[in-house]
Structure 1
């Protein structure tokens, strides 16, 4: 309903609306002017048939006359063209039926015009479905009457009334005017609609072009953001590598108690900074949509032990009891999934539990809730007796950069990305995490994850084991190592670290020098930085792999990278390198990778 229309309205301008289409406004105009014309036409015909005492025609014309007044008034008050159009067609059909079968017992030119007008009105106003219906309702009775007249079988106890020429003439003129009027308005409406569609199509094409430009701009922005984060990661990780590495070296050099305490604080602070950087980079990787889940075999109890091993010490320092309970039915099963992402999820949950628990217990459980021949469903649960979470905050704690409250952020620190990363990683796998918490009592986070089960049987390793550092150090002095690194601080750090293992490496300040040194000398292993001047680590590795001498081309290469590019693993493999270590690296991690590639190669 148009708000400008009221019961006393007679203006067409108050029932038209910009919210309606051109076609619907044309329908309103047709009804308005058509009913007005019908009113005056029927008034003249009604006067004529009443004067001549034609009772049936007077009744039918009178019904139509009154109907035109009522419908016109209803249209100007409530401009609902659909029900009004139905009423017009129903009344016209009934009157037409009464006229030809009761009043005149015949088919005249006026009757034919009336049928044509009803047919056009039905299609224009109500569309194909109702246009066909009202056409049949009028054509079929006319056809039946013609057949009956032809067979002389029509008989009704009413004397037919004759329609004089003046009445026929008035009706014919009115019918022609209405038909012309209908065609004129709807032709104009169709032309305007087509023009509007053309304009709309042009706008749509323009919007599509703008959308493509916006998407392209967004992609470039995303790439620029990723490159920026990668660059910043490299620039921040490089000095952090030196800070953490030197701290480890100094701590291992038997410092005085007060010096050791200071070094531990330095190492802890650098570790926190590294953790923040890792959270931001991990979240960016997830949000970029470039994260791909692996499907590799792993042993869940062993993985849980590795995840929680370091966390046990953190809990012990705070005086918290740490419990890990892994279902014994999982010990002999080889599962297929992404152990890296599982580690990330469980680690963040456990880390949060320890962070927000001052005393009491942190319990981590992995329970097999459904065991089938080819699949298992495991419930992971991390429960603590920490500060808890308010019920009103349970929905927002998974949003990035948000913690339970501002006071929590001030007291415990952190980026607020841990739970956001957990939630996103689970959502990408179609998993919903459940949270139950009571402020001051503790929290419980749990989720179910389904894993395919490999037919492979878990075997306890017997002979194959890595030597510890003390055992392996005796043979390190004979290893010929090349380090390709352009940062002098990192070179100094590596030399100091390796000197503890009685190893003196050769140094190349860029990738080109590294290739020349490999060509001129024999090395057992190469530690290759990736971002170097003149020739980067990727190109240097490819050049080494293309050497004719198989001993040189097959030299194990470990990439040392502070980069956070999403495809770093793939690029390392594509360039022919054997493995990579992220800076800042842990000495034990580097030690194990060297041992695996040199001793067991």
Structure 2
């Protein structure tokens, strides 16, 4: 409906709008000009029958003229053509029946024409359903009248009017003009509408082609982005591996106090940079929909102490009181789930709590909510007495690249991805995180996680690594390292020398295959991106060797790449496991222990520093 029309409007242009379809505009025009034609015809009939003294027909014509005036005003004020068409057809039906049964008490060519006009008008204006209804409402009374007149002679007490030839001529002329106008006007509208549909089909086809090209371009862009992230990950994490690794090795060498302080600053900065890189890569992995959750055995209590151990030291260095509370009902239980992702969620929340708490306390609580034999609902709570969050910002903090304010970003740093990653990881596991906060009083983050529980019980101290490794078992280990980066080679040599291992170094995949052909090794640490021959191709060549022992040698992939499908590719080519750089030495040793069996190699003497 057009908003420009007022009650005193008489212009058709103010009741037409671009939002209306071609057919709707044609229907409004038909009513607008059709009312004029019907009014003129009714006036001519009124004049003819009045002077002949046919008063019932005169009143009928007068009523029709009045109805036309009211409907015309309604159309020019509020052009609801659908309702106006219904009213017009009802008036036409009543008048047609009254003329047949009362005014004329007979059927002639004029009444038949009126029925035809009603049928045509109802179908054009209202469609098949209402067209059929109004057609039956007009034809059934006419057929019933013919039946009564033929069998019983229709007679009522009211004397019928008699119309002369001039009245019939006027009626026929008006009806023919009206029929021609309806057909001509709407036929033209239908042709125009078909042309528009054809043009729309061509436009839609063109848009579909553009959309297909856009989708193809987006897919290529996503692939390029993934490749770019992989390259950047490799290029950034490789030197970070050297920086963090060298910092750890230097700190293990009993440095002077001032040297230790400098090394701690260097290590802290490198770890911060690594955390930013990891956040971006993890978020990309989540958004791409290719994140896969593991379902492995783990000890939740031990996991929580491992997560909060380093964070507790960080809190104490800042002067904060750190409290970890774990429900006794969770102890000595074997859980199934993804400990890596649980670590990521809890670490992010605890790290935030410490970061945004200048003084006071940080509490981490893990409690059993509901124990259903093989499933247990665990409630995690991370609470602090920090700066707090505004109510208006509570929803936004979980959006990517968002922090509460620019001032917060400048003061505390960060990418704004931590909480977004937490939310996405929990949502993918079917749970929701709740945030409660007050400015100046602190914040609390809570979430429930349903975990599968095994019926077996963990022995005391299960999973904790011993303080020292059995040197004799490590000495006998023959390790082949395929690595092209000389800094990483030096780091690996220094690390393995701490374990009394002298490794063999292959500077590329081709040399690694040659070493395997002429030598004997217990395990291979294989970098993936190397010149001449990469780690994937080298692994495939080794797996094809005739000697079964050499073909089945355990191979652990070492890479700084961030491609989301890198793990699948690693296992697809026949590698046994995967460690991402920079890695923790105890993580590497744990994977080695799983793949080989040597005397004395059943405990770890490796610290948890990142290399």
TM range (shorter): over 0.9
Distance 1:586 1:378 in 2: 28
Pick which of 510-519 and 146-155 moved more: 146-155
Provide, for residues 275-295 of structure 1, a one-character-per-residue CA deviation record: whole Å limited to 9, x for no partner.
111111111111222222333
Report deviation, 1:318: 2.3
Distance 1:98 1:227 in 2: 82
Q: 1:106 to 1:333 in 2, by over 3 A?
A: farther
Instruction: Provide the secondary structure at the position in 1 that maps to 2:45.
Output: helix
Q: Is contact 1:377–1:449 with CA below 8 Å preserved after alignment?
A: yes
Hey, what does 1:157 align to over in structure 2? 157
Provide, for residues 374-416 of structure 1, a one-character-per-residue CA deviation record: whole Å limited to 9, x for no partner.
4332221111122212222212212222223333222222222
Report deviation, 1:113: 0.9
Q: Is contact 2:353–2:382 with CA below 8 Å preserved after alignment?
A: yes
Instruction: Provide the secondary structure at the position in 2 that maps to 1:577.
Output: coil
Instruction: Provide the secondary structure at the position in 2 that maps to 1:540.
Output: helix
Q: Is contact 2:333–2:458 with CA below 8 Å preserved after alignment?
A: no
Unaligned segments of structure 2, at least 5 residues: 602-611
Distance 2:70 2:384 in 1: 76
**When the two structures are superposed, what TM-score results if normalisation uses the length of structure 1?**
0.95
Q: 1:73 to 1:148 in 2, by over 3 A?
A: same
Instruction: Provide the secondary structure at the position in 2 that maps to 1:435.
Output: strand
Distance 2:80 2:481 in 1: 84
Distance 1:362 1:235 in 2: 36
Hey, what does 1:471 align to over in structure 2? 469
Hey, what does 1:502 align to over in structure 2? 500
Provide, for residues 460-482 of structure 1, a one-character-per-residue CA deviation record: whole Å limited to 9, x for no partner.
278x8787463323332222111
Q: Is contact 2:334–2:458 with CA below 8 Å preserved after alignment?
A: no
1:517-528 alignment runs, 5 A limit = 517-528=515-526
Q: 1:352 to 1:371 in 2, by over 3 A?
A: same
Hey, what does 2:112 align to over in structure 1? 112
Q: Is contact 1:297–1:454 with CA below 8 Å preserved after alignment?
A: no
Instruction: Provide the secondary structure at the position in 1 that maps to 2:402.
Output: coil
Instruction: Provide the secondary structure at the position in 2 that maps to 1:471.
Output: coil
Hey, what does 1:360 align to over in structure 2? 360
Q: Is contact 1:54–1:161 with CA below 8 Å preserved after alignment?
A: yes
Instruction: Provide the secondary structure at the position in 2 that maps to 1:93.
Output: helix
Q: 1:173 to 1:359 in 2, by over 3 A?
A: same
Q: 1:338 to 1:465 in 2, by over 3 A?
A: closer
Q: Is contact 1:481–1:524 with CA below 8 Å preserved after alignment?
A: yes
RMSD of the alignment, in Å? 2.1
Q: Is contact 1:32–1:72 with CA below 8 Å preserved after alignment?
A: yes
Provide, for residues 50-106 of structure 1, a one-character-per-residue CA deviation record: whole Å limited to 9, x for no partner.
001111111111111222233233323332212221221111111111111111111
Q: Is contact 1:234–1:564 with CA below 8 Å preserved after alignment?
A: yes
Q: Aligned residue pairs: how many? A: 599
Provide, for residues 221-249 of structure 1, a one-character-per-residue CA deviation record: whole Å limited to 9, x for no partner.
12211211111111111111111111111
Instruction: Provide the secondary structure at the position in 2 that maps to 1:362.
Output: strand
Instruction: Provide the secondary structure at the position in 2 that maps to 1:482.
Output: strand
Residue from 550, 553, 566 that aligns with 2:551: 553
Hey, what does 1:597 align to over in structure 2? 595
Q: 1:296 to 1:154 in 2, by over 3 A?
A: farther
**When the two structures are superposed, what TM-score results if normalisation uses the length of structure 2?**
0.93
1:274-293 alignment runs, 5 A limit = 274-293=274-293
Report deviation, 1:532: 0.1
Hey, what does 1:393 align to over in structure 2? 393
Distance 2:142 2:385 in 1: 89
Unaligned segments of structure 1, at least 5 residues: none
Pick which of 291-300 and 225-234 moved more: 291-300
Hey, what does 1:328 align to over in structure 2? 328
Given the alignment of the two structures, is residue 418 of structure 1 paired with residue 442 of structure 2, yes or no?
A: no
Report deviation, 1:339: 2.4
Pick which of 466-475 and 262-271 moved more: 466-475
